[in-house]
Structure 1
Amino acid sequence: MNENKQREEIVLLGKSMYDRGLTHGGTGNISVRLEDGWLLTPTGSSLGRLDPARLSKLDWQGRHISGDLPSKEAMLHLAMYQERPVSGAVVHLHSTHSVAVSVLDDLDPEDVLPAITAYYAMRVGKLPLVPYYAPGDPALAEAVRRFSSQHHAMLLAHHGPVVAGSDLHAAVDATEELEATAQLFLLLFQHKFRTLKSEQVADLQRRFAKR
């Protein structure tokens, strides 16, 4: 897919997520890998009102090449790409239910959400909780780096999900699955409920490779 098409895809999927309430205001950011660098949504931009011509373009040292100034979370995205060379896109949202889960007490920091559905097990899998750092703090990017070699999805404490995918559609699909599962979990967690058995999760992961 050429760069112009990638720019259009960022705008289209950004607006789709914004219109469905998965992000709000100027929160969240999207990036896509290119042959000669990568695209990132600009700082302070709304995912519902992106301009394809004004998206930030950066090189693999994180230097700004063109477009508006990049999101302050640029180093977080770069860490994911550097540790996951197969990833073609990264989505980071402040989606309501995922953030709500990220502030609950007594979470398992190695695997925040249970495998409630097959599609969560297939598209997200094991979800670690990244300790809190201020947005844009270089320490946050380094924390993401430590997790990303083993995980394509993670939840930032008091902040929101970060999800990498083979392409932008895969990253968005997994992000939406994570948010839907977070909502289900919040509906269920005060009640007794069943999760998929460990052997069922293992079978799904054998059948469907993580994106």
Structure 2
Amino acid sequence: MSAVHRLIEAGRTLVEAGLSPGSSGNLSVRDGEGLVMTGTGTQLGALQPRDLAVLTRDGAHVEGARPSKEVPLHVALYAKNPAHEAVVHVHSPYAVALACLAPWAEHSAVPPLTPYSLMRVGQVPLLPFAAPGDPAMGALIGDSPHPFHAALLANHGAVVSGETIERAVDSAIELEEACRIAVLTEGRERNLIPVEQVLAITGRWGTPWTPAPVG
């Protein structure tokens, strides 16, 4: 399946899962020496080939629709995870809600409540606020000291990368569920997964987790 058709399918899946209200969110995939990205103002559940933009790897527009203003966000996450081939950015309700709260820890806004989020995404730092489309978003990703495949953007939403667009979509859906559980348990005494088990799970699945400093 071509990059274009995979993006169209990914957009439909995200909308059906409730992660992309209205015309919010954007997707991209690496394709040869460039990127294919959703255009500005497009509805992910109704994408057509004409709604997609072709970019260079560093984000310069080559042809097609006018790309989403979040190009710097995507380019920076590819640079952080060079083996990944796709990026998903959504304004899903619980990711936005958790991104409006103080983070659970410096390295992860999402506490280790379920093994599935650890298996899919690992730690999820909360990045400082930058206005949508601000090139500073790319710098915030590049400057973060923590490795991550997914991050929450303060008061904004979530961004996730993956080895494939299908994997990135699955991870975004799992992250939204993890955020939902975190919001529902906020302010209560939680039973967290023990740190040794967190490290065992993330180590087995190849997802990042930064152990808390000792002492």
TM-score surpassing 0.5? yes
TM-score calculated relative to the size of structure 1: 0.93
| Alpha-carbon contact 2:89-2:158 (below 8 Å) kept | yes
| Structure-1 separation of matches of 2:89 and 2:103 | 24
SS of equivalent to 2:122? coil
* Distance change (3 Å), C-alpha of 1:197 and 1:149: closer
Q: 1:164 to 1:106 in 2, by over 3 A?
A: closer
Residue 120 of structure 2 is matched in structure 1 by: 123
Range that drifts further, 12-21 or 192-201: 12-21
Q: Which runs of 5 or more residues in structure 2 are unaligned? A: 209-215
After TM superposition, the structure 1 stretch with the greater mean CA deviation from structure 2, 147-156 or 55-64, is 147-156
Deviations 1:79-133 (A, max 9, x none): 1112321010000000000100111146434211111111111111111111001
Give, in whole Å, the separation in 1 of the partners of 2:66 and 2:27.
Answer: 14
How far is 1:184 from its partner? 0.9
1:136 equivalent in alignment to 2:133: yes
Which residue of the partner structure matches residue 190 of structure 2? 193
Q: How does 1:1-211 map to 2 (within 5 A)?
A: 5-105=2-102, 107-147=104-144, 150-210=147-207
- Provide, for residues 146-173 of structure 1, a one-character-per-residue CA deviation record: whole Å limited to 9, x for no partner: 2387211110001111111111111111
> Could you give the per-residue CA deviations for residues 15-50 of structure 1, whole angstroms, max 9, x where no partner exists?
121123111111100000111201110011111111
CA RMSD of aligned residues (A): 1.7
Percent identical pairs in the alignment equals 38
| Aligned mates of 1:183, 1:29 — CA distance in 2 | 21
Structure 1 gap segments, 5+ residues each: none
Q: Tell me, in whole angstroms, the C-alpha distance in 2 between the residues paired with 1:149 and 1:40.
A: 26
Q: Letter of the 1:34 partner, please give it.
A: D
Aligned length: 208
Instruction: Judge conservation of contact 1:54–1:68 (CA < 8 Å) in 2.
Output: yes
Match for 1:134: what amino acid?
Answer: A
1:46-92 deviation line (CA, Å, top 9, x unaligned): 11111124310101232111110000001110111123210100000
**Quick check: 187-196 or 103-112, which moved more?**
103-112
